Structure 1
């Protein structure tokens, strides 16, 4: 846990990271319970968006993971760029720190998967959300350190096209080439052959080996945005317009590609990268406009608390702390005073309050987990 905060941080980025994390730590639970307790059409629609697509398609919940990788990519030109500007830091030194971070996140990911409940290697899931974040950011970081922007852009499109060609034209035994089903796609086949330990979905893993390759492009897209925000000398409003326009173009290209290479989070298809990247740009443009351009900041504090300790709260909410028991201990009497139909909503709301209180304490103490 690192103590201290950099006052020059991009607040819109911390707020967007916190907004993104909010939905997977407690926000989705609150909305789902609210939808069950009410007949509100708006809440029901939001609840429907907080589920992953069954296979092909795109929902808001499908955006959360790639948006986090995109945000991590935006941070690189600021964090790594600052290190590169220090003559005492060699590229090899920075690379070693990236590898160290990658190893730590992969280990933390296996812990979230239940490593300490070890039931044999064959029942241990190695692939994880944190592992994919680590690997995609590692390779994006290497590309950022050792190449110029032109090469980075070529690699971005090259990876997307190469991944498409692999899944489209490399045959899978017993299925053939270009089969985009759960069992028949090349990415799932590679997972069954080479992914260590247990597969999350028996015939494939949503954070598998080959499908991590295009996730690098979500991080690279963030790297492009970070360099753009940090270095390009134009007005902030023009940056908002540029990000918004680029986001819309990427979404249009994604839907044009969709009939040939379907938008699919599990396979992390190239069209999915463009679609999720486009929406990531739109969200970043909106947060940047509201927070950094218009300076409307009264609402961002809870999201900043989450965003500044995103890894901490992810680990805490996924097994390290039982927030439900804590909430019942603190607010159980009050929850019982609520109508039975709404008690699950009150409990979910209490969990949000407890988590935010925990994060506010860490923020006030200036304790931030840095990996």
Structure 2
């Protein structure tokens, strides 16, 4: 049964821990309830904010409309063939729980994406990725409901138009659909990705040799790395990586490399090189910076943090200062990965 509440605090529902309020709030546990909410006369013209785990938003003010918390659960095997197994998960399923579900059953492809905060429904919106793997590599399709018409639509891989930390849902279809379930294509025979970041080094520290390599070992290595570098949102408010890693022309990278020999770079093809935003921010002197309760994490400069009572505006002001500083020093623009509301 639907329970629409008014004047609800969003502080427990965003990992930054920002104290903002929703004029109206509702949690939906299935697609039918979602459609019912969208068709209610009193709310048809209300602005709507869709929340999953609240791990990729920065709330800069109260939301004067309806916040819809998508809590659709369920993980099941939808079909399989000789090489793949297809898993469908509700949009409200915790992402890490889905990864562990697959790893424990030997379904390969998601292991590098372990411990990413958030829910399944939010994952394709920004094409989440980590340690050399992006969601689009295991994505098959999704279902979504149109906010205005309540029409249900299935989106294929091509229709999602994935890019680096983005999709059609952050561009042409922004604010038009609510994702209700996602289907993933996992491999029965694993393809290991161990060259990115400190995965290989961590596997060695764990005593995992090449002949004992498994998706479970890779998942455990990724979890160990993330826990050592990234703050726990239950302890310090944050939304993980605040900025995207910028991609710049190779000619610009070569010039910067001459000036800064330690600058890391990852060739992306088409004479484009991706560089770590965290390295740029750290070199610009921001690592460990704090102003009031807004700060840059002491172990990972890519993460902005709320030490207690920072407002969204204070975090956003800090983000803009970091962007300006990086651009002044390197001539490189870094863009937020987090959605500013």
Instruction: Determine if the TM-score, normalized by the shorter chain, exceeds 0.5.
Output: no
Structure that is richer in strand per residue: 2
Q: TM-score normalised to the size of structure 1?
A: 0.27
Q: TM-score scaled by structure 2? A: 0.29
Q: Which structure shows the bigger proportion of residues in helix conformation? A: 1
Pick 1 or 2: higher relative contact order, CA cutoff 8 A, min separation 6.
Answer: 1
